[in-house]
Structure 1
Amino acid sequence: MELVIRPALGLRLFLAPRRRHAQFEVPYDGAASLGHVVQSLGIPLTEVGVATIDGVPTGPSVSPHPGAVIELATPPRPQKLPHGAGFLLDVGLGTLARRLRLLGVDTAYGNDADDADLVERARNDRRILLTQDRGLLMRRALWAGAYVRGQGADAQLADVLDRFAPPLAPWTRCSACNGALVGVPKDDVANRLEPGTRLRYEQFARCVSCGRVYWHGAHGRRLDAVVAAALKTVGERAPTG
């Protein structure tokens, strides 16, 4: 007994090389659910949008009949965020976390959490877990998650913005701890500044959570470019109506 699998192009990176085709067949015991079949191929269910059996949309708990044709689509982009949901990033995505915070996106991150802790925190805090660990996305207790495509922070950020089009508020969050930034008078932070910084800059912000001080310094042009590109991407991807 077999099933015919037709994966969308965007799902083929999760498949073994011999199966990275528009259609292939897999053995089937006649009892396993569609969700089990999909994950046994290496595809996290978080990465599947509509799945059909012989052309009929169905859920992951349904068991297909032997010989069925299974078509797997990727989630639509932009994918709607649950109301008020932020992100939680795993240990390998620290630079991406700082980029998202730069853009004002609510982003939790810790470099010392294990897989079970991440899944529990995502569920308890109602955060979407972003990771490049497929096994993590296949954990049954995971509330919501997504695989981040790309090997560098620029590509990863572009992928997350394209997929979710989250609302942006640049320069409003601390890149170190995710706390809110508020403007402060220069005199209030002068004792924490190097002499050259006190001389050159007049506008400052401070994190209400960790107290870190920010100003638009020498690296500002590079960050301005990141912000401009992000605003353009989200503007183009945000749902209308």
Structure 2
Amino acid sequence: MKFYVDAMFGNLSRFLRVLGYDCLLRSNTQNTDDYFCKVIEENRIIITRSRVLYNQARKRDIKAIFINKEGIVNILCELKRKININLTCDPNNSRCSDCNGLLVKTDKNLIKKEVNSGTFEHFEEFWKCKSCGKIYWEGAHWADIRRKIKQVKECVGNEN
């Protein structure tokens, strides 16, 4: 699954990318017709908080999901219910949270000058975005991501 989310869902786009999904973020200024053309051309699913945009997409037979929840855990619960998104968090399958580029595991010594010395010494595995060059490692933020995923699984699991 590939997604194209509204600008108001910036946090969601980053989270979906970490989960490995190809996810684009629509700008507030993007023309609706251009937006729909790109969605169709790239076989993406729209995620929106706009009832108007959702209805326009459905009238054109474009896959769209309307979300009116607040908070990343609630939004992910809704996506899990509606389209059964995969909640596996693995940096080997993640995408760049900034630009949506593919991440490649990289030799630690090749990025020594690109991270601070404490990070370099504390972590063994690093990934680099093929598009923007951002470096990733499993720091404290990964614990927070996994905690949120656990909350989503508990939320959805309690409904069955």
TM-score interval (norm. to shorter): 0.7 to 0.9
Q: Describe how 1:192-203 pairs up with structure 2 within 5 A.
A: 192-203=114-125
Identify the match of residue 182 of structure 1 among 78, 99, 104.
104
Q: Please tell me whether Structure 1 or Structure 2 has the larger radius of gyration of its CA atoms.
A: 1
Q: Give the structure 1 partner of residue 7 of structure 2.
A: 91
TM-aligned CA deviation for residue 233 of structure 1? 6.7
Structure 1 runs (4+) deviating above 3 angstroms are 227-237
| TM-score normalised to structure 2 length | 0.82
Q: How far apart, in 2, do the equivalents of 1:125 and 1:118 lie?
A: 11
Q: TM-score, normalised by structure 1?
A: 0.57
Q: Is the 8 A contact 2:23 2:100 kept in 1?
A: yes
Q: Does 1:147 align with 2:66?
A: yes
Cα distance in 1 between the residues matched to 2:26 and 2:64: 16
Match for 1:225 among 123, 141, 147? 147
Q: Matches of 2:73 and 2:156 in 1, distance apart?
A: 14
**Cα distance in 2 between the residues matched to 1:222 and 1:168:** 14
AA matched with 1:185: D
Matched residue of 1:104: which SS? coil
Aligned residues: 153
Q: Look up the equivalent residue of 1:125 and give its one-letter code.
A: E
Long gaps (5+) in structure 2? none
Residues 1:130 and 2:35 are matched in the alignment:
no
Take 1:124 and 1:208, find their aligned partners in 2: how far apart are those partners? 23
* Contact map agreement 2:13 2:24 (CA 8 A) in 1: yes
Q: Tell me which of the two structures has the higher relative contact order, counting C-alpha pairs closer than 8 angstroms and 6 or more residues apart.
A: 2
Q: Which of the pair is proportionally richer in helix?
A: 2
Provide, for residues 149-173 of structure 1, a one-character-per-residue CA deviation record: whole Å limited to 9, x for no partner.
3012221111112210124552222
